[in-house]
């Protein structure tokens, strides 16, 4: 069955430090991969997506993610975090179901805390 694992429930990073949020997935075919961000009290906003091609994808707000097929991973990175990056981050896999429907399979989310 398809699944998405975000192993870190919380991550604390100092402002200006680099960030990597982990995401592992289980899916039989080449997946569509997404990272979304949710600021407190807000909806989910798409940060970036991978469908095919270059395995390093650039997103909004200075984020990037790398698709590694051999590791079934799609980790999110940012070289230098800002206090405004404090939010919850969700990884998702787009999967076609057995009845030809399309669903996003979601990770549990990682809450990013920024230390001043």
Partner 1 sequence: DSGVTQTPKHLITATGQRVTLRCSPRSGDLSVYWYQQSLDQGLQFLIQYYNGEERAKGNILERFSAQQFPDLHSELNLSSLELGDSALYFCASSGGLGELFFGEGSRLTVL
Interacting residues with partner 1 (CB under 8 A)? 32, 34, 36, 41-46, 49, 51, 90, 94, 96-97, 101-104, 106, 108-109
The CB-of-82 to partner 1 minimum distance in angstroms stands at 22
What is the number of other CB atoms lying within 10 angstroms of the CB of residue 85? 20
The CB-of-1 to partner 1 minimum distance in angstroms stands at 14
Q: In the complex with partner 1, which residue's Cβ is closer, 15 or 32?
A: 32
Q: In the complex with partner 1, which residue's Cβ is closer, 15 or 26?
A: 26
**Best CA proximity match to 37, nearest among 86, 81, 74, 80:** 86
The CB-of-42 to partner 1 minimum distance in angstroms stands at 6
Spell out the SS3 assignment of 47-103: EEEECCCCCEEECHHHCEEEEEHHHCEEEEEECCCCHHHCEEEEEEEEEECCCCCEE
Q: In the complex with partner 1, which residue's Cβ is closer, 50 or 114?
A: 50
The CB-of-14 to partner 1 minimum distance in angstroms stands at 26
CA distance 96 to 70: 21
Q: In the complex with partner 1, which residue's Cβ is closer, 34 or 74?
A: 34
CB distance 37 to 45 below 8 Å: yes
């Amino acid at each position: 069955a398809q699944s998405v694992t975000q192993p870190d429930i919380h991550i604390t990073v100092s402002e200006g430090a680099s960030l990597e949020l982990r995401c592992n997935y289980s899916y039989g075919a080449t997946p569509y991969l997404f990272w979304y961000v949710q600021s407190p009290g807000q909806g989910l906003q798409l940060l970036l997506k991978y469908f095919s091609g270059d395995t390093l994808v650039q997103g909004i707000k200075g984020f990037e993610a790398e698709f590694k097929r051999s590791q079934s991973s799609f980790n999110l990175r940012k070289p230098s975090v800002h206090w405004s990056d404090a939010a919850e981050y969700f990884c998702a896999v787009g999967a076609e179901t057995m009845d030809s429907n399309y669903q996003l399979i979601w990770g549990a989310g990682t809450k990013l805390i920024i230390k001043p």
